[in-house]
Homo-oligomer: A and B are copies of this chain.
Amino acid sequence: MPDEIQPLHPRKLEIVEAAVICFLDKGYHQTGVRDIVGQAGISLGNLYNHFKGKEAILVFIAEIEGQELSDFIDGLSSTDDPTATLEWFIQEYAVYVSLPENALLGVEILTEALRNPIIADVFGRNRDRLIAALTDCLIQGVKSGVFGSRMDPRVVACLILDALEGQGLRSLSLPSGDKLARDTIGSFLLNGLRP
C-alpha cells in the first residue's frame, strides 16, 4: 500500500474512529453520516474535506483491516515448522477475531462486499493474501509430512478461517472471550490435519 504514505491528516483518523464506533453500534447502512460527525465532534461538511463520501470511509476501514492482517501473513511465512506456525496462527487469529470490533467490522465489511464491488475489491484482495499465506503454510506441512495430503490445502485454509471467525462472531454474545471454545477448535483443526 505505498499510496498510503501520504501525510494523513489526524482528523481523518478521528473520523475513522468515530465511524468504527458507529458501524459497530448500528451497522454500516444504519449509520448516517450525521451520526459519524456527531461522534467525531466535527461539522457535517468537514467530513467531506477528508472523505469523498460515506462509502470511502468503509473502504478506508477495510484497508486498515487489511493492513492488520499483515502481521498474520508475515507470521505464516516463517514456515520452518509448519505445525508450530499453524498452532501460533490459530491461537492468535482466534484471539484477534474474538475482539468485538474485529468480529463485527469483519461481518459488516463481508456483507457489504457481497454486493458492493468497491468493497469487494478491497476486502477480497486482503482476504486472498491471508488465504494464500495460510495455504502455503499448509502445503509446507504436507511436503514435510506433518499434515495429511488428502485434502486441497486452499479449501482447508478457508475452513480454518471460517471456523475461527465463526467462533469469534459467536463469542460476541459471551461475557468473556470463551477461551475454552477457542482451544477446542484449535485442537480439532490440528487433529483434522493429521496425516
Point out residues on A near B: beta carbons under 8 Å: 26-27, 29-30, 104, 107-108, 110-111, 114-115, 148, 150-152, 155-156, 158-159, 161-163, 165-167, 170, 172, 180-181, 184-185, 187-189, 191-192, 194
Contact = CB atoms under 8 A, between A and B. Distances in A.
Q: Taking the full assembly, how many copies of this chain does it contain? A: 4
A120 B128 CA distance: 31
20 contacts: A27-B29, A27-B111, A27-B114, A29-B29, A29-B30, A104-B114, A111-B111, A114-B172, A150-B187, A150-B191, A152-B181, A156-B184, A158-B170, A159-B185, A159-B188, A162-B163, A163-B163, A188-B192, A192-B192, A194-B194
A162 B156 contact: no
Contacts of A158: 166-167, 170, 181
A155 B189 CA distance: 12
Nearest to A124: B173
Given A29-B29, A114-B172, A192-B188, A152 B167 contact: no
Contacts of A165: 162, 166
